[in-house]
Amino acid sequence: MDELLDAARLAAAHLSAVPGGPVWRPVPGEAAAWLTGQPLPERGAPLGDLLGVIRDRVLPYPMGNGHPRFFGWVNSPPSPAGVLAAPLAAAMNPSCAGGEHAGALLERTAVRWLAELTGFPHPPGGGLLTSGASMATVIALATARHRVTGVRENGLYGERPLTLYLSAEGHSCLRKAAELLGLGGRYVRTVPVDAAFRMDVAALRRHIEDDLRAGLRPFLVAASAGTVGTGAVDPLTEIASAAREHGLWFHVDGAYGALGVLDEDVRPVYRGMDLADSLALDPHKWLGVPVDCGCVLFRDPAGPRDAFSLVPPYLRDDGAGELGWFSEYGPEQTRPFRALRVWATVAHLGRDGITRLVRHTRERAADLAAMVEASADFALAAPVVTSVVAFRYLPRPVDGALPAAVQRRGRAFLTGTVLDGRETLRACVLHPDTTRDDLAVLLDEIRAAARELPT
Ligand SMILES: *Cc1c(COP(=O)(O)O)cnc(C)c1O
């Protein structure tokens, strides 16, 4: 199968061409029509032909997140070790539902390493890899819901409404999970944030007490360790205390930011993350594990197993040992070999390499913040804590058109958000090769894009 070697060469050529190409470019009509509208082939094509098609019609239109001047959303470049390992995981192609094979066994190490990196307690079985933090959040909230209801047997019929608490900057996946789990969007309380976009804990307490007085059942508070909007980390210790006093499940969304705890300059901000009942984090964000890979960690592995374990006769495994199968801890049955990409990435970088990556990206974010503050035409919109910089371009009211215009020019990529009801630009630095020059290009591109737009 020489084509496999050709594919590896093509991947390598693609990776080395990325920094010299446009960050992103619009997909021309004809190319988009081919990508979306191909007829089903009646007869197959040889592997070598497929490679040519991928080279000519797929690789030229990337999302952009391999480039050092990609600052959009929270999407990292793929770690080289992850790219190296991905085809080998596909070649083995196990289901990591469980069983005795390298895939399922290696996931034990991958999950434990993620717990060690983030300083989270790790009893054996206390976590699993997921498609992303959205699925990690579903598993965490379902576990918390199961703890206080008879949901597996009765559904939520007859239950007094459960309420949960997230900050105004909490990620949309929390509300999505609450809706999916039948908790009802109207019982999701949005707690206001302080001037630094961190959850206002006094307001959290007031919300909980109001709900108790109204006969509702507060059951969970979800804090953020790195919000998508500004990279803020909530006051985790104080939130943990409020949760403990009222018997609430304490969940932390560290999808993007949990690894920030590795940098001693910012570590104090993360104090209390290890008090969580569950922690969601995304190896496919700051760590750069190729998509997809999320993770959910639990203080007590019995929680998710009680919430999910359902072993039909055809899946019984007397040799599974005490921990059972991963599929007993979440909704997925057949599960991909994500662990090989995590293992390769962490084994290649080591704790010190990952710490350097976090520090490098935080330093570049601090550089960008300093450049913004030193420029009369830009202003910071929030303090910079992790590697997200939220800012505004003053000569022109920011709206959705400005990031889109920057993206179309192809020299830098950033996205926007709304903070305090105001449109804001935000740049998230995740690339190990981003330089100060790249940051200067970004600001110049925003100025140039603004000039192109109708006023
Ligand atoms: C990305 C992200 C999520 C959602 O995670 P997915 O991996 O996209 O499912 C949740 N919270 C935060 C803070 C994120 O950055």
Mean pLDDT, rounded, for 183-203: 98
SS (H, E, C) 346-370: HHHHHHHHHHHHHHHHHHHHHHHHH
pLDDT band at 400 (very low <50, low <70, confident <90, very high): confident
For 98, which DSSP code?
Answer: S
Q: Which residues pair with 415 in a beta bridge?
A: 426
First to last CA, the chain: 57
Cα 136 to Cα 73, 329, 332, distances in angstroms: 19, 11, 11
- Strands in 415-419's sheet, in edge-to-edge order, are 378-380, 388-393, 422-428, 415-419
Please state, in angstroms and rounded to a whole number, the distance separating the CA atoms of residues 103 and 94.
6
What single-letter amino acid sits at 394? L
Q: Write the DSSP assignment of 26-52 as a string of letters.
A: PPPHHHHHHHHHPPPPSS---HHHHHH
- Note the pLDDT of residue 422: 93
173 lines ligand 1 (CB under 6 A): yes
CA 256 to ligand 1 center in whole angstroms: 6
Q: How many CB atoms lie within 10 A of CB 218?
A: 25
Structure confidence at residue 368 (pLDDT): 98
Residue 138 confidence (pLDDT) above 90: yes
Tokens 């302080």, residue? 194
Structure tokens at 54: 């991928």
Tally of CA atoms within 13 A in the half-sphere of 335 that contains its CB: 29
Give residue 52 CA to ligand 1 midpoint distance, Å: 34
Q: What is the reported pLDDT for 371?
A: 98
Mutate to test the pocket of ligand 1, among 135, 173, 174, 338 (most ligand atoms within 8 A of CB): 173
pLDDT of residue 24: 98
385 C-alpha to ligand 1 centroid (Å): 18
Query: What are the φ/ψ torsions at residue 406 (nearest 5 degrees)?
Result: -60, -45
With beta carbons less than 8 A apart as the criterion, state whether 371 and 439 touch.
yes
Distances (CA, A) of 203 to 167, 213, 277, 403: 10, 15, 22, 34
Nearest ligand 1 atom to alpha carbon 294? 7
Nearest residue to 200 via CA among 161, 177, 232:
232
**Banded pLDDT at 13 (limits 50, 70, 90):** very high
Distance from the alpha carbon of residue 61 to the mean position of ligand 1, in angstroms:
24
The DSSP symbol for 225 reads: B
User: Which structure tokens are listed for 82?
Assistant: 């992850």
3-class state of residue 453 by DSSP: coil
Rounded to 10°, the helix 436-452/338-374 angle is 70
pLDDT value at residue 318: 86
CA dist 34 and 27 (Å) reads: 11
List, for residues 342-351, the tens digit of each pLDDT value.
999 999 999 9
Ligand 1 atom at minimum distance from 226 CA: 13
The pLDDT score that the predictor gives to residue 64 is 97
Report helix, strand or coil for 221: strand
134 lines ligand 1 (CB under 6 A): yes
Q: From atom 15 of ligand 1, which residue's Cα is the shortest distance away?
A: 256
pLDDT > 90 fraction of the chain, expressed in percent and rounded: 97
Find out whether the beta carbon of 296 lies less than 6 Å from any atom of ligand 1: no
Whether 349 contacts 341, CB under 8 Å:
no
Q: Which two tokens stand for residue 7?
A: 């594919």
List the beta bridge partners of residue 378.
Answer: 393
Q: Measuring CA to CA, how many Å separate 173 from each of 132, 180, 284, 326, 421?
A: 10, 10, 16, 22, 20
Does the beta carbon of 228 sit less than 6 angstroms from any atom of ligand 1? yes
In short, whether 225's Cβ falls inside 6 Å of ligand 1 is no
Could you give the CA distance from residue 50 to residue 58 in angstroms, rounded to a whole number? 11
What does the pLDDT look like over 28-57, one tens digit per residue?
Answer: 999 999 999 999 999 999 999 999 999 999
Question: How far, in Å, CA of 451 to CA of 454, rounded?
Answer: 8
Q: Is 294 in the pocket of ligand 1 (CB under 6 A)?
A: yes
Please check the confidence at residue 455 and state whether its pLDDT lies above 80. Answer: no
